Amino acid sequence: MQNRQIVLAQRPVGMVDETTTSLVATERPVCGPDEALIKVGLLSIDPTIRTWMNDAPGYLPPIGIGDVIRAGGAGVVVESNTPRYAVGDVVIGMTGWQEWAVATDENKFSVVPKGLGLDLPTVMNVLGTTGLTAYFGLMDVGQFKAGDVVVVSGAGGATGSVVGQIAKAKGASKVVGIAGGPEKCAEVVEKYGFDECLDYREAHLVRRIHEACPKGVDVYFDNVGGEILDAVLANIAMYARIVVCGAISQYNAMEKPAGIANTPMLIMRRGRMQGFIVFDFASRYAEAQMALAAMVLDGTLAHREHLVQGLEHAPEALNLLFTGGNHGKTLVVVDESVQLA
Amino acid sequence: MQNRQIVLAQRPVGMVDETTTSLVATERPVCGPDEALIKVGLLSIDPTIRTWMNDAPGYLPPIGIGDVIRAGGAGVVVESNTPRYAVGDVVIGMTGWQEWAVATDENKFSVVPKGLGLDLPTVMNVLGTTGLTAYFGLMDVGQFKAGDVVVVSGAGGATGSVVGQIAKAKGASKVVGIAGGPEKCAEVVEKYGFDECLDYREAHLVRRIHEACPKGVDVYFDNVGGEILDAVLANIAMYARIVVCGAISQYNAMEKPAGIANTPMLIMRRGRMQGFIVFDFASRYAEAQMALAAMVLDGTLAHREHLVQGLEHAPEALNLLFTGGNHGKTLVVVDESVQLA
pLDDT at B254 over 80: no
At position B339, the amino acid (one-letter code) is Q
Per-residue pLDDT averaged across B115-136, rounded?
94
CB contact under 8 A, B271 and A274: yes
- CB-based contact A264 B244, cutoff 8 Å: yes
Encoded amino acid at B249, one letter: S
* A108 in reach of chain B (CB within 8 A): no
CB contacts under 8 A, A 238-277 vs B, are 244-247, 250, 256-261, 263-277
Tell me the CA end-to-end span of chain B in Å, nearest whole number: 26
Query: Which residues does chain A have within 8 Å of residue B247's beta carbon, measured at their own beta carbons?
Result: 263-264, 267
In 3D space, the residue among A305, A57, A234 whose CA is nearest the CA of residue B216 turns out to be A57
List, for residues B312-321, the tens digit of each pLDDT value. 999 999 999 9
What is the residue extent of each domain of chain A? 2-111+304-333, 129-279
Minimal C-alpha gap between A127 and chain B (Å) = 21
The pLDDT of residue B297 is above 90 = yes
Identify the CATH number of the domain defined by range A129-279.
Answer: 3.40.50.720
Residues of B in contact with A269 (CB under 8 A): 59, 275
- Give chain B positions within 8 Å (CB) of A276: 267, 270
A220 pLDDT band (50/70/90 cuts)?
very high
Q: Which pLDDT tens digit goes with each residue over A73-94?
A: 999 999 999 999 999 999 999 9
Residues B225, A276: C-beta atoms closer than 8 Å? no
For residue A132, the one-letter residue type is L
- Per the document, the length of chain A is 341
Please provide the average confidence, as pLDDT, over all residues in chain A. 95
CA torsion angle B133 B137 B140 B143 (round to 10): -160
Instruction: Decide if A173 contacts A148 (C-beta within 8 A).
Output: yes
- Cβ-based contacts of B245 with chain A (< 8 Å): 267
Q: Taking CB atoms and an 8 Å limit, are B57 and A268 in contact across chains?
A: yes
Position A251 scores a pLDDT of 82
Asked if the model's pLDDT at residue B341 lies above 80, the reply is no
Q: pLDDT, tens digit, for every residue of A285-314?
A: 989 999 999 999 999 999 999 999 999 999
Distance, CA of A20 to CA of A10 (rounded, Å): 5
* pLDDT grade for B255, boundaries at 50, 70 and 90: confident
∠B331-B289-B296 over CA atoms, to 5°? 70
Nearest to A261 among B257, B274, B280 (CB): B257
Question: Could you name the CATH architecture of B2-111+304-333?
Answer: Alpha-Beta Complex (3.90)
Output the pLDDT for position B56.
84
ipTM for the assembly: 0.84
Mean pLDDT of A230-251: 94
* % of chain A at pLDDT higher than 70: 100
CB contact under 8 A, B250 and A264: yes
For residue B98, which of B123, B132, B75 has the smallest C-alpha distance?
Answer: B75
Task: Tell me the chain B residues in contact with residue A247 when contact means C-beta distances shorter than 8 Å.
Answer: 263-264, 267
pLDDT in tens, A16-60: 999 999 999 999 999 999 999 999 999 999 999 999 999 987 889
The length of chain B in residues reads: 341
Q: Is pLDDT above 90 for B337? A: yes
- φ and ψ at residue B92, rounded to 5 degrees: -125, 140
Give the mean pLDDT of B278-285: 92
User: CB–CB of A259 and B259 under 8 A?
Assistant: yes
Distance CA A173, CA A215 (A): 11
Q: Report how far residue A220's alpha carbon sits from residue A16's, in angstroms, rounded to the nearest whole number.
A: 29
Give the C-alpha separation, A230 to A224, whole Å. 10
Tens of pLDDT, residue by residue over A156-195, are 999 999 999 999 999 999 999 999 999 999 999 999 999 9
Check residues B259 and A221 and name the one with the higher pLDDT.
A221
B263 contact residues in A (CB cutoff 8 A):
225, 229, 244, 247, 260, 273, 275
Q: What is the CA radius of gyration of chain B?
A: 20
